[in-house]
């Protein structure tokens, strides 16, 4: 089913051709009168632009559905009618990956145009009305998807868990569904097994590949998340452009003119850079690696902020004025108290100063009289 989050409308999609033969919307659980389920949906995914839904069922069919008109536009049967467990498109929308119950991962190439795929399907359905409906939908499906590659482990015959594409669609990864192991298989798109990553002895639940970088995330049954990244080894000789890394010592034989100075060849070449060219320092280049759709609008880089000041309310002004008056009164009272304390201190300190002045004056007077007496005595 499809749920429109903006309106809350739920639309039930057909899971087999028998659901739409009479033009009736399928029942909620697609059951016969005896309660048995003939065909149940097992996997589903949107195409790149979201105008079609690809549904896999337990009969081993991939249904191409126009979800707006609730109509099956094409059918692609899986070899051996194996039950489909997972379906996922590559980020470019060019390849569809399916994981079936027959221990095989299949990649289908999308033959529909990335834009206007529904129009192509409508034209294909109108042609050849004399054919049987099922055969007609199979013929349309063969013009939509074609088998490109199959991946399987012919030795261990393991089931696969959560297979998916890499960010650029050049690699395919799949986890082992065995309970006692945490293994991740990596293939190139040509079908060659490149690497097997072995983790702890914990069952693997889910996988995800980073959209840009070669980083894989796996989830184990115990609830732990493991991040797998490339192991980079430091090679300091690679930083010098004229250096060459050697595995062992080698005898070097120099050329006759290798270290001769040749001024003619050492002239600096003129630069081809146009110095007068204007450089755009404000524009932002769009990184297509983070966008699944070419029709999506550009991402918002920043939101300009232009705050408008709040108008002060009269009550706030009154409270502010009263608080200012109170602060001024408190400051004035504090100043007056300080002035009074300083005056008291000066009043207490002044008598000793006056006594010292008087004593100094008396001493001066005494010495002068003594000097006078001595002078008289001399006379």
Q: pLDDT of 238-256, one tens digit each?
A: 666 777 777 788 888 888 8
φ/ψ of 288, rounded to 5, equals: -70, -15
Per-residue pLDDT of 145-157, as tens digits, reads 999 999 998 888 8
What global pTM score does this model have? 0.62
pLDDT of residue 117: 81
pLDDT of residue 315: 62
Architecture of domain 153-230: Beta Barrel (2.40)
The DSSP code for 17 is G
Q: Are 204 and 183 in contact (CB under 8 A)?
A: yes
> Where is pLDDT greater, at 181 or 294?
181
pLDDT of residue 113: 86
Which of the four pLDDT bands, split at 50, 70 and 90, describes residue 160? Answer: very high
The DSSP code for 96 is E
Q: What is the distance between the alpha carbons of residues 16 and 62, in angstroms, rounded to a whole number?
A: 9
Instruction: For 115-126, give one letter per residue: b (16+ CB within 10 A) or e.
Output: eebbebbeebbe
Instruction: Return the structure tokens found at 41.
Output: 């949906």
For the chain, give the percent of residues with pLDDT over 70.
65
Three-class DSSP category at 93: coil
Instruction: Return the structure tokens found at 80.
Output: 């051996």
The two most distant CA atoms of the chain are separated, in Å, by: 166
Tokens 């087999």 locate to: 16
pLDDT of residue 365: 46
Beta strands in the chain (DSSP E): 2-3, 10-11, 41-46, 53-57, 61-66, 71-77, 84-89, 95-100, 105-110, 145-151, 160-165, 171-176, 183-188, 193-198, 204-209, 215-220, 225-229
Helix (H) / strand (E) element for 119: namely helix 117-126
pLDDT of residue 364: 46
Instruction: Return the structure tokens found at 229.
Output: 């990244």
Per-residue pLDDT of 161-171, as tens digits, reads 999 999 889 99
Tokens 């980020």 locate to: 91
Three-class DSSP category at 65: strand
Per-residue pLDDT of 52-110, as tens digits, reads 999 999 999 999 999 888 889 999 999 988 999 999 999 888 999 999 999 999 999 99
Which of the four pLDDT bands, split at 50, 70 and 90, describes residue 335? Answer: very low
pLDDT of residue 334: 46
pLDDT of residue 215: 94
Q: Are 46 and 58 in contact (CB under 8 A)?
A: no
pLDDT of residue 46: 92
Q: Are 53 and 1 in contact (CB under 8 A)?
A: no
């Amino acid at each position: 089913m499809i749920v429109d989050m903006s309106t809350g409308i739920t639309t039930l999609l057909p899971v087999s051709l028998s659901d739409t033969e009479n033009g009736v919307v399928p029942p909620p659980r697609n059951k016969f009168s005896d309660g048995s389920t003939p065909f149940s949906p097992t996997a589903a995914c949107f195409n790149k632009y979201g105008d079609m839904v690809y549904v896999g069922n337990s009969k081993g069919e991939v249904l191409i559905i126009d979800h707006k008109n609730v109509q099956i536009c094409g059918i692609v049967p899986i070899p051996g009618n194996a039950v489909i467990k997972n379906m996922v498109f590559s980020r470019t929308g060019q390849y569809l990956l399916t994981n079936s119950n027959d221990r095989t991962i299949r990649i289908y190439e999308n033959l529909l145009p990335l834009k206007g795929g529904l129009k192509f399907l409508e034209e294909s359905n109108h042609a050849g009305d004399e054919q049987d409906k099922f055969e007609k939908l199979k013929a349309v499906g063969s013009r939509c998807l074609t088998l490109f590659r199959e991946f399987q482990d012919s030795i261990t015959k393991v089931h696969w868990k959560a297979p998916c594409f890499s960010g650029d669609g050049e690699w395919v990864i799949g986890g082992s569904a065995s309970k006692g192991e945490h293994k991740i298989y990596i293939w190139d798109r040509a079908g060659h097994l490149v690497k097997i990553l072995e983790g702890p002895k914990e069952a693997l639940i889910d996988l995800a590949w980073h959209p840009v970088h070669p980083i894989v995330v796996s989830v184990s049954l115990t609830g732990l998340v493991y991040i797998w990244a490339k192991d980079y080894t430091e090679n300091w000789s690679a930083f010098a452009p004229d250096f060459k890394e050697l595995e062992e010592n080698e005898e070097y034989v120099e050329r006759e003119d290798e270290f001769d100075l040749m001024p003619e060849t050492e002239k600096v070449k003129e630069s081809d850079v146009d110095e007068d060219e204007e450089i755009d320092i404000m524009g932002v280049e769009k990184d297509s690696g983070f966008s699944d759709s070419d029709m999506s609008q550009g991402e918002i880089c920043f939101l300009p902020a232009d705050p408008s000041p709040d108008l002060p309310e009269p009550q706030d002004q009154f409270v502010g004025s009263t608080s200012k008056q109170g602060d001024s009164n408190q400051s004035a009272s504090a100043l007056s108290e300080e002035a009074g304390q300083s005056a008291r201190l000066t009043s207490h300190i002044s008598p000793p100063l006056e006594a010292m002045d008087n004593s100094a004056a008396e001493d001066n007077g005494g010495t002068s009289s003594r000097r006078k007496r001595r002078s008289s005595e001399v006379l």
